[in-house]
Amino acid sequence: MPIPPFKNKPPSSRQVTPYDERHLNTYLLLLDADDAGIDWCSAVWTIFHIDPEREPARARAVHKSHLARARWIADGAYRDLLRPSPKKQ
């Protein structure tokens, strides 16, 4: 399953962003892999299709930053997704 185009670093906003919304499945995959004890090299290759042997610094940075963002969302920021959107006038 291909993931949406991604940046090397997710947003650092204190709000859930459209980027985060597009990557909810990506974040869930990262959290599941981490919870299952899957090596980060395997996870970054499988999820992002980045070869950690060819691009070790980028692979590690993408994995680490996106996993941190996934944890942030799972730790409570997901509530932003449950709130109704403001009515447009």
| Domain that residue 45 falls in | 18-80
pTM of the model: 0.83
In whole angstroms, give the CA distance from residue 30 to residue 63.
8
Residue 86 domain-assigned (yes or no): no
Residue 12 domain-assigned (yes or no): no
Q: Is the pLDDT of residue 39 over 60?
A: yes
Residue 2 domain-assigned (yes or no): no
11-38 tens-digit pLDDT = 888 888 889 989 999 999 999 999 999 9
Residue 88 domain-assigned (yes or no): no
| Residue for token pair 């709000």 | 15
In total, how many domains does the chain have?
Answer: 1
Mean pLDDT of the 41-67 span: 96
In whole angstroms, give the CA distance from residue 38 to residue 41.
8
| 73, 11 Cβ separation under 8 angstroms | no
- Full DSSP string of 45-81: HHHH---TTTSHHHHHHHHHHHHHHHHHIIIIITHHH
